[in-house]
Amino acid sequence: MRLSMDLELQDIPGQLLLAMQPLSDNKANIISVVHHRDRKTPRGMIPVRFVVEMDRSKIETVQARLKESGISVVRAGEDRFIEAVSVVLVGHVLDSDLGDTINRIDTTGFAEVMDLSLTMPGVNEPTSAYLKIRATGKAEIQKALTILRSVGKEKKLLVIEPIETEAV
């Protein structure tokens, strides 16, 4: 499984190595390490985010070893949804059963609506909604957008998708 972990390291030599040892010992494959020297915490600690592939059963061992070494684990969790996309909907978003619209994404198993904001200027005026959808990969994001597009057509909603940043 893929796991992301936010650690806080002291600003002294050797800390990064100390943090990596338990990962290495437990056969975690490091996908990325981001070292935020520019975002020191008020206590002068340096936040570091690890993304690793590792066996689920070893997580607790790793966390315990890190604590023993004096490294604080701020957060550790499974990164199932690694891609996200923003979408804006305009129209009768509520009257056309918003719950159902969200459900169509959430029931896919590979994508879910994680953020939703609504603005309703008046009873007979169109509602605008911002949705953030996350999914397990880039292809799944596209599948979720396809679903949303067809829901939009069916419910007469204007679906405003983000521009593709790469040529497809």
Partner 1 sequence: MRDVKVSLVGYGIVGHGVVDVLNRKKKMLRDMGLNLLLISVTDHTGTVVSKDGVDADKILGERTLANVATSSMKGKEAISAIDSDLMIEVTPTNIVHGQPGLGHMEAALSSGKHVVTSNKGPLVVSYASLKKLAEDNGVMLKFEATVGGTMPLISLVERTLVGNTILGIRGIFNGTCNYILTRMTEEGIPYTHALSEAQDLGIAEADPSYDVEGVDTAGKVVILANSLFDMNVKYSDVDVTGITGVTPEALALAKKRGYAIKLIGDVPALTVRPTLVPLDSPICVAGTLNSAAIYTDLSGTITVSGLGAGSIETASAILTDIVSIYRTKRIDTIF
DSSP labels for 86-148?
A: EEEEEESTTTTTHHHHHHHHHTTSSEEEEEEEEE---TTSPEEEEEEEEESSHHHHHHHHHHH
* Residues in 136-165 at the binding interface with partner 1, rule: CB under 8 A: 158, 160-165
Q: Which range in 15-23, 64-72, 86-94, 104-112 contacts partner 1 by CB under 8 A?
A: 86-94
Among 20, 73, 76, 90, binds partner 1 (CB under 8 A): 90
For residue 112, the minimal CB distance to partner 1 (Å) is 18
Q: Is 95 in the site for partner 1 (CB under 8 A)?
A: no
Give me the long-range contacts of 146-152 (CB less than 8 A, separation at least 24).
Answer: 147/104, 147/105, 147/108, 148/87, 148/101, 148/104, 148/105, 151/101, 151/104, 152/89, 152/91
Q: Is 66 in the site for partner 1 (CB under 8 A)?
A: no
Query: Between residues 69 and 119, which has the closer beta carbon with respect to partner 1?
Result: 119
Cα atoms in the Cβ-side hemisphere of radius 13 Å centred on 57: 0
Q: Is 17 in the site for partner 1 (CB under 8 A)?
A: no
Q: Is 88 in the site for partner 1 (CB under 8 A)?
A: yes
For residue 162, the minimal CB distance to partner 1 (Å) is 4
Residues forming contacts to partner 1 in the complex (CB under 8 A) are 86-88, 90-91, 117, 119, 121, 125-130, 132, 158, 160-168
